[in-house]
Structure 1
Amino acid sequence: MKINYIFLLLLTGFVNLTLAQEKEITLEEIWSGAFRTSGMDVLHSMNNGQQYTVLNRQAGSVDKYDYKTLQKVETIVSASNLPEVGRFSSYEFSDDESKMILATQVESVFRRSTLGIFYVYDIASKKVTKISDNKIQEPTFSPDGTKVAYVFENNIYIKDLKSGASTQITTDGVKNKIINGVTDWVYEEEFGFVRAFQWNAASDHIAFIRFDETNVPEFSMDVYGSQLYPQQHVFKYPKAGEKNAVVSLHLYSLNADKTSEIELGNYTDFYIPRIKWTNNPVVLSVQVINRHQNELDLILYNAAENKAKIVLKETDKAYVDVTDNLTFLEDNSFIWTSEKDGFNHIYHYKKDGSLLNQVTKGPWEVTNYYGYDKKSDRVFYQSVENGSINRGVYSIKINGKKKKSLSAKEGTNSAKFSADFTYYINTYSSATTPPMYTLNEAKDGDVIKEIKNNNDVKEKLENYTTSPKEFFTLTTQKGHDLNAWMIKPADFDAANKYPVFMYQYSGPGSQQVANKWNSANDYWYQLLAQKGIIVVCVDGRGTGFKGADFKKVTYKELGKYEVEDQIDAAIELGKRSYVDKDRIGIWGWSYGGFMSSNAILKGNDVFSMAIAVAPVTSWRFYDTIYTERYMRTPQENASGYDDNSPINHVEKLKGDYLLIHGTGDDNVHVQNTMRMIDALIKANKQFDWKIYPDKNHGIYGGYTRLHLYTKMTKFVENTLLK
């Protein structure tokens, strides 16, 4: 009896294990966050280099930890002790770390911009000061910690933390007309920043950009809401070839209580994508780029002498990418990154702009610059030296010698260094390893100890039927070697024929084929694979991290070479014995939707179906900065715009086509989809479509994502599994 009982237990366990391993991923699990990994929220390295702080969202506190022991030293501030503040969502220290700005009641404006109620917390006295009763933007400490500058209703204000008085330093701000100190829509979206003012080191000057949007055309969106009548959201949006805001640079002197315009030189129709004070409190650096974005000047403006001088000029036959890596060293020499040798690398210049040396060299890209440590005379950076789908952390002497690899594991490594470059926290993941966080020695990369892992997510996935993501190089008939990955059904049998569903984004400089842990979409691909579909992703020409020539081949022809590569990739896949070449589909979102639309039209004999979410259907509908960077203006390059826009190829549609868009998309306007629909109807082409009222470019909120992916899943099943 005992033996039989044990046998029964073993048999039961085996059956349960088998059933557990056959559990299938559901859409409900994906979009409820069942496979979500945990990270380290809003980490800040303290000035002493030995401690760091983390925002504990669950407890509503900012906690200080010791790097060496990883033990919590103290709770600096807790929402439970600040009833007048309540829950805060972010924090920022003053330079001397004696005060903090705490953000509450934050609401989004556009993708990066927010409004909120902010408080200053004095750590020693535990005193709380409300910066303004109004919802404001971008509150920022002066370097001496005595003041906070912020923007309210397009004007800049300064609050004196000692007296409590607020001073308004600009007065001409008007919605949809004049903006001071924060960016307009197109700068925010395409140059990636919101705060357009900067304190100098002496805390006695503020430099700021002013935007005159008066002549920029307006765009309006109906907001349907829940009231009897919809409302209109009207904002300035410069479409390709239209007028931009007129930008100017200004300097406010706190001592003189005076604002003056900075004369940068003889520029017309230009952008100011970055401003940054040097270590000299009277010298401001300014990056100015022409409208074509193929000539970028680094200007140093001396406020004491009221003189501006170009110290560095970058030019390119296609376009110059704006760098965030400009770093001024103690002697005001500076670090700069550039693609001028064909790959993105680090350069060291004297303060007058003459080249000291190229710090990194090779047929690979620097993907992140972490900083320079004077003590060890080393530059720390991230690159793709170990293959374009991987990321490693490295250090090198500023003279370009004695390079060290600080990453032991192949995959995606990224570093957050302590202020004194003694330690760094490494975030590592790969296609098979969820994010793990380790404390490392900066001098050699040695792991001191593990901080956090996500093994629980990996163990949970072991109960599900999943397939490995297989990386490979796909070579097209034209001879182009393209990074790719493939997910096959778990019960894959090479003797069978499978449909293929391709995913891509394909935008300039982007990357989707990367050796890192799953995104939410990867779980969807696993779900589709278990339904009997092979899922493939290919990064074609125009994507990033393989050199400037590979990336910039699409210049003035967006949607030509990238589409060719997706069609050619599908043809190569169709030659494989286990692929049903008559059932190949493709999908994408935003630029990827533009691509999938083009693919089913220009590749109508290759692709049998396509899904396009929030697609650009004509580059004439998109904004100036992004579109003209790669296409110039429609007036200069009409054929480049029209020959490669899906809206002009609708008569070629043969397969099944699904269009999806949100009506509240301020980025890629629903106009793109509505005009595409109109063109398809005029061509008498059948298609499917789905509109999400008031949803923005991300199409999310509540059950929205679940609804969206349910729709797409059914469409995939009905077209590829029929």
Structure 2
Amino acid sequence: MKKISLFAFMLAGFFAQAQNNLTIEDATMPFQRGLATQSIYGAQWRTNNEITFIDASFKALTAKSTNDKVVENFITTSDLETAVGRAINEKVSLRTIPFDYHWENENQLSFTYQGENDKYYVVYNIHTKNIDKTIKINAEATEEIISPNKNYIAYLNKNNIELVFDNGAVVKVTNDPEHVVNGSSNTHRNEFGIDRGMWISPDGKKIMFYKKDERMVKDYPLIDFGTRIAEENPIKYPMAGMKSEEVSLHIYNIDTKTTKKINIEGDKEQFLTMPTWSPNSEMVYVGVLNRGQDHLKLQRYNAASGNFDKLLFEEKSKTYVEPNTPLKFLNDKEFIYISEKDGYRHMFRYDINGKQLNSYVYNDVVFKDFVNVSPKEIYYMGTANKGMDKLLYKVDLKSGKTQAVTKTSATYTVEMNPEKTWYYSQYTNLTTPNHVSLKHINGKKTIELLNASNPYEGKTVLPKVEMVTIKAADGKTDLNGRLLYPVNFNENEKYPVMVYVYGGPHAQLVTNRFGGGAGGFDYYMAQQGFVVFTLDNRGSENRGRDFEHVIHRQLGQNEMADQMEGVKFLKSKKFVDADRIGVYGWSFGGFMTTSLMLNYPDTFKVGVAGGPVIDWKWYEVMYGERYMDMPEENPEGYEKTSTLNKVKNLKGRLLMIHGAQDPVVVQQHSMEFIEKCIKEGKQVDYFLYPTHEHNVSGRDRIHLNAKIADYFMTHLKK
């Protein structure tokens, strides 16, 4: 489903504290409760030999050099407050060092300051301790991006684009009515790796932007219960098989103040992906994907005229093609294209005429992110260890030889200096909470910055975590699993089980992180006497094309079969009470929970389904049709995967939870399920969070976790 929405839900409340067992508050809000893994934030290379990061108080930057010299309080909030206040003639209060700080060069630091009435882009000089540059931005501005030469900022004012120049001049680029949305990252509902809606050309003279016309999309009602008489706040929600938004790309010329539409032919409801400027700012490249999402054309257009220039290549699939990374140019003549067409999402080198020059698929590694790109070599992050690890790799573009730079089996975060001689290394694995260091690229020198201790040490007894490997239902594919044992485990006792499930694309719950990726709520339930089990079935992330694409046109079917192999594994353990197995999940995990309760009613006695998809015909076009096609194209698949058809099978206790303002999995899903339960004479428990969307966040999440825990303890514990 939505990466940001889902993962924010799954990862909230990561670690917790208590004197003996965790409280539900500890498990849900670790930072507020004073227990979180020690870390380093905002690490950036100031020079090739010095890195800065925000200190533990969040009130200053610390500088650390590759010769092991440390300068604490390198820049403080007090320094910045004084300088900014003097520049804008306003009292300034900074609670922390701005997390969006950026080194423009070794002497200048830029960041955004939100003042009383306006925002300001400011450039701070570390030597003079003055502000060298300010640009005042509309206080309501969103999605700001600054031009390469730092002389203007483009931003959104509601649904239109404006520019503000360093001389204070404001230019309105678009002036469209409501529901014609310009320059927004919320285009194509954030699928296809879309994280922005505007792209400034390398020379800074033009801006390419999305224009999303959603006037023809049906309104979907969301109700605001906070007013004296509840009010309707409709959203545009294109459901599978129905009319979708129409998106176009346009180019605004800064000098002439004119706009050209890029003349992209094809269905108005096709998807425009990977918009990328050529290095010389003369051309733009667009991945044009059909609504069926099985045919991609990479096409080039003239930036001055907007006219079609060349079809470079096409990619087709019997299942789906999913572009999610813009092109990365190596020079004026060659670029890197990311695709999983050869089995694993990785890099393919092309010339600008569309000829493939090389491919860099390496073992079962899945490409994740670029770290440093040059015409000769690329450093990138990729998976290893059957998706469990994330490592730094280096590939020689001429020979194609790839090697892992980081050697420890772990999940890494890396920042490389411009000269590629040193890199900032932060990693965690099953037994390492967090280790941070500066490492020379040849591996011969390491400067440790942090070796975090176990944040629970001396405060609570954590459950034993065991990583397991289970064969999938196909009898040959290895699946990664995680098993948490109850605290004070006795192998001669019988314990209830909570299976925590997600199971869908773009998500991975079992990773080589501290505790195996388990969160505070997992620990809490284990301390309450539950075995807590999680399995990443086929269809989940970071295992390659074939592993994921088994879900196509039949969401939930192979996923459930794999989860039942996990149940078989659990039942083989003499300490598992086979009569007391429950399941919990959110979003796609809510769909999986409901499906498992209905398809295997004699196995699962209790279920908690949060924000569940009930029938895929009520889900949105971009995600839903990728995996299920349109309802009229796949009626058998929609019929088979709908949970409504199996309500009559319900035997156990099922709690369904939904956010009344959910714009992702709309409440209609759970409402229709309840209605079906009424017709079938089946009892189901239901809880609504009136003000929350797809996630339940903030302190209300304590309430959510307490409700889930209570449900399992009431209906699954003896």
TM-score by length of 1: 0.88
**Corresponding residue of 2:154:** 149
The answer to whether the Cα contact below 8 Å between 1:62 and 1:78 also exists between their aligned partners in 2 is no
Is 1:408 aligned to 2:407, yes or no?
Answer: yes
The answer to whether the Cα contact below 8 Å between 1:94 and 1:145 also exists between their aligned partners in 2 is no
- 3-state DSSP of counterpart to 1:144: coil
Counterpart-to-counterpart distance in 2, 1:446 and 1:700: 45
**Corresponding residue of 1:367:** 368
Counterpart-to-counterpart distance in 1, 2:388 and 2:490: 28
Structure 1 residues 54, 283: closer, same or farther in 2, change over 3 A?
farther
Q: Report the Cα offset of residue 258 of structure 1.
A: 1.1
Q: Report the Cα offset of residue 50 of structure 1.
A: 3.6
**Corresponding residue of 1:690:** 687
**Corresponding residue of 1:28:** 25
- 3-state DSSP of counterpart to 1:526: helix
Q: How many residues align?
A: 682
Is 1:91 aligned to 2:100, yes or no?
Answer: yes
- 3-state DSSP of counterpart to 1:78: helix
Deviation string for 1:10-52 (max 9, x for gaps)?
A: xxxxxxxxxx999222212122314322433344444x43444
Structure 1 residues 645, 169: closer, same or farther in 2, change over 3 A?
same
Deviation string for 1:99-139 (max 9, x for gaps)?
A: 73405279xxxxxxxxx952121335515645334411122
Q: Report the Cα offset of residue 195 of structure 1.
A: 2.8
Structure 1 residues 95, 239: closer, same or farther in 2, change over 3 A?
farther
Is 1:496 aligned to 2:505, yes or no?
Answer: no
Structure 1 residues 326, 420: closer, same or farther in 2, change over 3 A?
farther
The answer to whether the Cα contact below 8 Å between 1:120 and 1:129 also exists between their aligned partners in 2 is yes
Counterpart-to-counterpart distance in 2, 1:21 and 1:234: 43
**Corresponding residue of 1:288:** 288
Q: Report the Cα offset of residue 70 of structure 1.
A: 6.1
Structure 1 residues 530, 146: closer, same or farther in 2, change over 3 A?
closer
Structure 1 residues 518, 503: closer, same or farther in 2, change over 3 A?
same
Counterpart-to-counterpart distance in 2, 1:500 and 1:50: 51
Q: Report the Cα offset of residue 200 of structure 1.
A: 0.9
**Corresponding residue of 1:528:** 525
Counterpart-to-counterpart distance in 2, 1:67 and 1:222: 56
Q: Report the Cα offset of residue 54 of structure 1.
A: 4.0
Letter in 1 for 2:311: I
Of the candidates 179, 182, 194, which is equivalent to residue 180 of structure 1?
182
- 3-state DSSP of counterpart to 1:391: strand
Deviation string for 1:660-696 (max 9, x for gaps)?
A: 1111222212222222112112211112222112112
Is 1:653 aligned to 2:650, yes or no?
Answer: yes
The answer to whether the Cα contact below 8 Å between 2:495 and 2:530 also exists between their aligned partners in 1 is yes
**Corresponding residue of 1:16:** none
**Corresponding residue of 1:426:** 425
Structure 1 residues 274, 367: closer, same or farther in 2, change over 3 A?
closer
Is 1:339 aligned to 2:340, yes or no?
Answer: yes
The answer to whether the Cα contact below 8 Å between 1:263 and 1:308 also exists between their aligned partners in 2 is no
**Corresponding residue of 1:171:** 175
Counterpart-to-counterpart distance in 2, 1:139 and 1:650: 48
Deviation string for 1:524-546 (max 9, x for gaps)?
A: 22222233221111111111222
Counterpart-to-counterpart distance in 2, 1:325 and 1:371: 15
**Corresponding residue of 1:131:** 136
Structure 1 residues 641, 446: closer, same or farther in 2, change over 3 A?
farther
Q: Report the Cα offset of residue 492 of structure 1.
A: 2.7
Deviates most, 269-278 or 534-543: 269-278
Q: Report the Cα offset of residue 194 of structure 1.
A: 4.7
Counterpart-to-counterpart distance in 2, 1:288 and 1:437: 41
**Corresponding residue of 2:245:** 245
Structure 1 residues 521, 103: closer, same or farther in 2, change over 3 A?
farther
Q: Report the Cα offset of residue 373 of structure 1.
A: 3.7
Structure 1 segment 179-198 matched on structure 2, within 5 A: 179-184=181-186, 186-188=188-190, 190-198=191-199
Letter in 2 for 1:154: N
Is 1:469 aligned to 2:465, yes or no?
Answer: yes
**Corresponding residue of 1:104:** 114
Counterpart-to-counterpart distance in 1, 2:189 and 2:486: 44
**Corresponding residue of 1:605:** 602
Counterpart-to-counterpart distance in 2, 1:170 and 1:67: 48
Q: Report the Cα offset of residue 586 of structure 1.
A: 0.9
Of the candidates 560, 564, 579, which is equivalent to residue 561 of structure 2?
564
Is 1:352 aligned to 2:348, yes or no?
Answer: no
Of the candidates 701, 709, 713, which is equivalent to residue 713 of structure 1?
709
**Corresponding residue of 2:660:** 663
Structure 1 residues 478, 440: closer, same or farther in 2, change over 3 A?
same
Counterpart-to-counterpart distance in 2, 1:318 and 1:93: 41
- 3-state DSSP of counterpart to 2:490: coil
Counterpart-to-counterpart distance in 1, 2:472 and 2:354: 43
The answer to whether the Cα contact below 8 Å between 2:192 and 2:322 also exists between their aligned partners in 1 is no
The answer to whether the Cα contact below 8 Å between 1:80 and 1:86 also exists between their aligned partners in 2 is no
Q: Report the Cα offset of residue 473 of structure 1.
A: 1.3
Q: Report the Cα offset of residue 578 of structure 1.
A: 2.4
**Corresponding residue of 1:112:** none
Q: Report the Cα offset of residue 153 of structure 1.
A: 2.3
Counterpart-to-counterpart distance in 1, 2:56 and 2:20: 32
Structure 1 residues 685, 450: closer, same or farther in 2, change over 3 A?
same
Letter in 2 for 1:475: K
Letter in 2 for 1:170: T
Letter in 2 for 1:631: M
Counterpart-to-counterpart distance in 1, 2:354 and 2:56: 44
Counterpart-to-counterpart distance in 1, 2:119 and 2:51: 23
Letter in 2 for 1:393: L
Q: Report the Cα offset of residue 644 of structure 1.
A: 1.0
Counterpart-to-counterpart distance in 1, 2:510 and 2:29: 25
The answer to whether the Cα contact below 8 Å between 2:510 and 2:516 also exists between their aligned partners in 1 is no
- 3-state DSSP of counterpart to 1:629: helix
The answer to whether the Cα contact below 8 Å between 1:484 and 1:538 also exists between their aligned partners in 2 is yes
Structure 1 residues 315, 52: closer, same or farther in 2, change over 3 A?
farther
Counterpart-to-counterpart distance in 1, 2:580 and 2:102: 56
Letter in 1 for 2:709: T
Unaligned stretches of 5+ residues in structure 2: 1-16
Deviation string for 1:353-380 (max 9, x for gaps)?
A: 2111112332342333323245xx3221
Deviation string for 1:249-275 (max 9, x for gaps)?
A: 111112222111111234442111331
The answer to whether the Cα contact below 8 Å between 1:379 and 1:396 also exists between their aligned partners in 2 is yes
**Corresponding residue of 2:638:** 641
RMSD (CA atoms): 2.7
Structure 1 residues 212, 345: closer, same or farther in 2, change over 3 A?
same
Counterpart-to-counterpart distance in 2, 1:144 and 1:129: 14
Deviates most, 597-606 or 195-204: 195-204
**Corresponding residue of 1:314:** 315
**Corresponding residue of 1:82:** 84
Structure 1 segment 247-266 matched on structure 2, within 5 A: 247-266=247-266
Counterpart-to-counterpart distance in 1, 2:202 and 2:473: 57
- 3-state DSSP of counterpart to 1:317: coil
TM-score by length of 2: 0.89
Is 1:71 aligned to 2:67, yes or no?
Answer: no
- 3-state DSSP of counterpart to 1:460: coil
**Corresponding residue of 1:595:** 592
Greater RCO, CA 8 A, separation 6+: 2
**Corresponding residue of 2:582:** 585
Letter in 1 for 2:184: V
Letter in 1 for 2:28: W
The answer to whether the Cα contact below 8 Å between 1:325 and 1:369 also exists between their aligned partners in 2 is no
Q: Report the Cα offset of residue 707 of structure 1.
A: 1.1
The answer to whether the Cα contact below 8 Å between 2:358 and 2:400 also exists between their aligned partners in 1 is no
Counterpart-to-counterpart distance in 1, 2:516 and 2:686: 25
The answer to whether the Cα contact below 8 Å between 1:342 and 1:549 also exists between their aligned partners in 2 is yes
**Corresponding residue of 2:450:** 452
Counterpart-to-counterpart distance in 1, 2:653 and 2:295: 44
**Corresponding residue of 2:8:** none
**Corresponding residue of 2:325:** 324
Letter in 2 for 1:282: E
